[in-house]
């Protein structure tokens, strides 16, 4: 970006802040908590047997977003959250594997960068998963003032390694420390909040790895769920309750601050739960990686008692890519002049139940061996288009259409009985820009999953370089 372009953005931000100040509104602190692979049926307030008293209290005191949609896996959801754009427009529709070097495209400006323009202090605690191979992918180079956690998609909760490669750091310095990951993330968040004395409001993305695999929790927590017979769900339940407890500690730190009444808290999951890992997406159909409701409709809530009258369930459709325009509006940022921003400012809906003013349908995407699978959500309707995995029908689509208001379990495919609606939505999909899909490469021959080859920290391959490491530039064409 040119110096002149940068000056225009800075001036616009200053003018936006002045306008916000003139309204008498004080910009809030923002604490956005994101769970990893938490299913609809994995929180107490949705009827789960898993004990989540902190999350349940937030739901009871706040606004529950009953139709909140994400992409069905980690990297696409984080792409949409940070950019406000559809993952399919950026090519990031698959999770980044440990051996891959793609990430959120370097030219994309993201939420913490905009918030810094608005004068915020920005912190990321936990999971990044938007690139781990080049310096320009690092959170400190994407708008964050402080980063503590993991660059990759999952780590061992005790060794802090993936495929026996350490991936645990604070601000670019690799860490060798003991502790259970969920506890460490909560402690770091508490310390930052308690010690913060800056004049600027803060934005914290507390991005838990729980309850993503590996299924690990303190043994006493697992034993507390001895009544759950299923081996995996028992451990998943323990992980979720440990996360809930960590959130409770963080909220206590928020409450102890003099600016606690001016702190917006958002809690969401990044996608639906993994059924084979013990998660429960009931009553919805589908799994993580699926475009059925169980893969993309997840727990979500907003909590700000001094501004929001709680105890309400909001039934309007909300999406992960709405957070960028919504939070920027609350932060006093003038907004983003980018035609590809797919999200909308959802605050009027959250605050006053105003009907969301969307000028385009919601498009969510998942990767598959036969090409991108795409779902279009248009009010109460959802169309899912998948490439048929049949060698004798290349390029053909399988199409399903559901009225998810009347049929949230998606048992009745109406594509044949609603031909005009089906054709219209399919025609719209043809107008959606589909960027070349990044990733999806097979693992190298020496990669054998979580057990992996033994790699000493001093000899680790350049797949998790930190700021101080030697890999500084992208090769041509990357």
pLDDT in the model for residue 457:
36
Q: How far is CA 73 from the centre of its chain?
A: 9
Query: What is the C-alpha radius of gyration for the chain, rounded to an integer number of angstroms?
Result: 22
User: Per mean pLDDT, which range of 164-178, 185-199, 401-415, 444-458 is the poorest?
Assistant: 444-458
8 Å CB contact between 217 and 208: no
pLDDT one-digit tens code per residue, 453-462: 333 333 333 3
Topology at the third CATH level for domain 28-352:
Alkaline Phosphatase, subunit A (3.40.720)
pLDDT one-digit tens code per residue, 88-108: 999 999 999 888 889 999 889
pLDDT one-digit tens code per residue, 278-320: 999 999 999 999 999 999 999 999 999 999 999 999 999 999 9
Query: Does the pLDDT at position 68 exceed 60?
Result: yes
Assigned architecture for domain 362-429: 2-Layer Sandwich (3.30)
Cβ count near 11 (within 10 Å): 11
pLDDT in the model for residue 2:
35
pLDDT in the model for residue 71:
97
Q: Hey, where are the domains in the chain?
A: 28-352, 362-429
Q: Which residue is associated with the tokens 């959606």?
A: 432
Using CA atoms, how far residue 9 sits from 2, 36, 139, 325, 344, in Å, is 11, 33, 21, 16, 20
Q: What backbone phi and psi angles, to 5 degrees, belong to 192?
A: -60, -45
Helix (H) and strand (E) counts in the chain: 12, 16
pLDDT in the model for residue 470:
33
Torsion (CA) 158, 164, 38, 281 in degrees, nearest 10? -130
Query: Does the pLDDT at position 450 exceed 50?
Result: no
pLDDT one-digit tens code per residue, 163-177: 778 899 999 888 999
Q: Which residue blocks in 169-291 are alpha helix, DSSP H?
A: 181-195, 219-223, 231-255
Rounded Cα gap, residues 359 and 101, in angstroms: 35
Using a 10 angstrom Cβ sphere, with 0-12 exposed, 13-18 middle and 19 or more buried, the burial of residue 478 is: exposed
8 Å CB contact between 310 and 61: yes
pLDDT one-digit tens code per residue, 1-33: 333 333 334 444 444 454 444 344 689 999 999
Q: What is the arithmetic mean of pLDDT over 424-447?
A: 87
Query: Does the pLDDT at position 390 exceed 50?
Result: yes
pLDDT in the model for residue 442:
82
Separation of first and last alpha carbons in the chain: 19
pLDDT in the model for residue 20:
45
Q: Which helix (H) or strand (E) holds 20?
A: helix 3-22
Hey, CA dihedral for 319, 64, 299, 36, is it positive or negative?
Answer: positive
8 Å CB contact between 128 and 150: yes
pLDDT in the model for residue 361:
94
Using a 10 angstrom Cβ sphere, with 0-12 exposed, 13-18 middle and 19 or more buried, the burial of residue 155 is: buried
Whole-number average pLDDT of the chain: 88
Write the CB contacts of 213 (distance below 8 Å, at least 6 apart in sequence): 37, 154, 274, 277
Write the CB contacts of 447 (distance below 8 Å, at least 6 apart in sequence): 98, 99, 163
Query: Does the pLDDT at position 467 exceed 50?
Result: no
Rounded Cα gap, residues 439 and 453, in angstroms: 22
pLDDT band at 393 (very low <50, low <70, confident <90, very high): low
Q: How much of the chain exceeds pLDDT 90, in percent?
A: 74
- Per DSSP, the three-state class of 363 is strand
**Tokens representing 247?**
């959130």
Write the CB contacts of 475 (distance below 8 Å, at least 6 apart in sequence): none
Rounded Cα gap, residues 79 and 97, in angstroms: 15
Q: Please state whether the peptide bond connecting residue 99 to the residue before it is cis, i.e. omega within 30 degrees of 0.
A: no
Does the predicted model carry a pTM greater than 0.85?
yes
Using CA atoms, how far residue 97 sits from 74, 75, 102, 169, 311, in Å, is 11, 10, 9, 19, 40
**Tokens representing 311?**
């105890």
User: What single string gives the DSSP state of each residue in 104-148?
Assistant: S-TT---HHHHHHHTT-EEEEEEE--S--SSGGGSGGGTT-SEEE
Q: Which residue is associated with the tokens 């009258």?
A: 309
- Of residues 58 and 172, more confidently modeled: 58
Query: Does the pLDDT at position 443 exceed 90?
Result: no
Q: Which residues pair with 202 in a beta bridge?
A: 121
């Amino acid at each position: 970006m040119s110096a002149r372009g940068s000056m225009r953005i800075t001036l616009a931000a200053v003018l936006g802040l002045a306008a916000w100040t003139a309204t008498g509104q004080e910009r809030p602190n923002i604490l956005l908590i994101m769970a990893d692979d938490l299913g609809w049926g994995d929180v107490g307030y949705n009827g789960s047997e898993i004990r989540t008293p902190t999350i349940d209290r937030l739901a009871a005191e706040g606004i529950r977003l009953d139709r909140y949609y994400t992409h069905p896996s980690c990297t696409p959801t984080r792409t949409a959250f940070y950019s406000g754009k559809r993952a399919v427009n950026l090519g990031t529709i698959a999770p980044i594997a440990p051996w891959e070097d793609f990430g959120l495209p370097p030219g994309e400006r993201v939420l913490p960068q905009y918030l810094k323009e608005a004068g915020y202090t920005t912190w990321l605690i936990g999971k990044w998963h938007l690139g781990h191979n080049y310096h320009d992918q690092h959170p400190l180079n994407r708008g964050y003032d402080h980063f503590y956690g993991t660059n990759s998609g999952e780590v061992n909760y005790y060794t802090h390694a993936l495929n026996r490669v350490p991936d645990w750091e604070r601000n670019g310095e690799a860490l060798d420390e003991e502790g259970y990951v969920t506890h460490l993330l909560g402690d770091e968040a508490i310390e930052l909040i308690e010690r913060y004395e800056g004049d600027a409001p803060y934005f914290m993305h507390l991005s838990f790895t729980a309850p993503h695999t590996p299924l690990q929790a303190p043994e006493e927590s697992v034993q507390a769920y001895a009544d759950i017979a299923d081996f995996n769900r028992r451990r998943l339940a323990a992980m979720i309750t440990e996360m809930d407890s960590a959130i409770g500690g963080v909220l206590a730190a928020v409450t102890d601050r003099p600016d606690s009444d001016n702190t917006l808290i958002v809690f969401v999951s990044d996608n639906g739960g993994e059924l084979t890992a013990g998660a429960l997406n009931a009553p919805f159909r589908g799994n993580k990686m699926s475009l059925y409701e169980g893969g993309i409709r997840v727990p979500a809530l907003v909590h700000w008692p001094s501004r929001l009258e709680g105890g309400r369930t909001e039934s309007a459709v909300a999406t992960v890519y709405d957070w960028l325009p919504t939070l920027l509006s609350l932060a006093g940022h003038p907004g983003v002049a980018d035609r590809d921003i797919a999200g909308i400012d959802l605050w009027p809906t959250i605050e006053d139940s105003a009907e969301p003013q969307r000028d385009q349908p919601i498009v969510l995407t998942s990767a598959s061996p036969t090409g991108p699978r795409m779902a279009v959500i248009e009010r109460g309707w959802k169309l899912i288009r998948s490439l048929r995995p049949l060698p004798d029908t290349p390029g053909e689509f399988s199409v399903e259409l559901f009225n998810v208001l009347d049929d949230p379990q998606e048992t009745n495919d109406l594509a044949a009985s609603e031909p005009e609606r089906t054709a219209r939505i399919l025609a719209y999909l043809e107008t959606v820009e589909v960027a070349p899909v990044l990733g999806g490469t097979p693992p190298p021959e020496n990669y054998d999953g979580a057990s992996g080859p033994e790699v000493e920290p001093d000899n680790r391959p350049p797949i998790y370089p930190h700021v101080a490491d030697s890999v500084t530039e992208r090769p041509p064409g990357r």
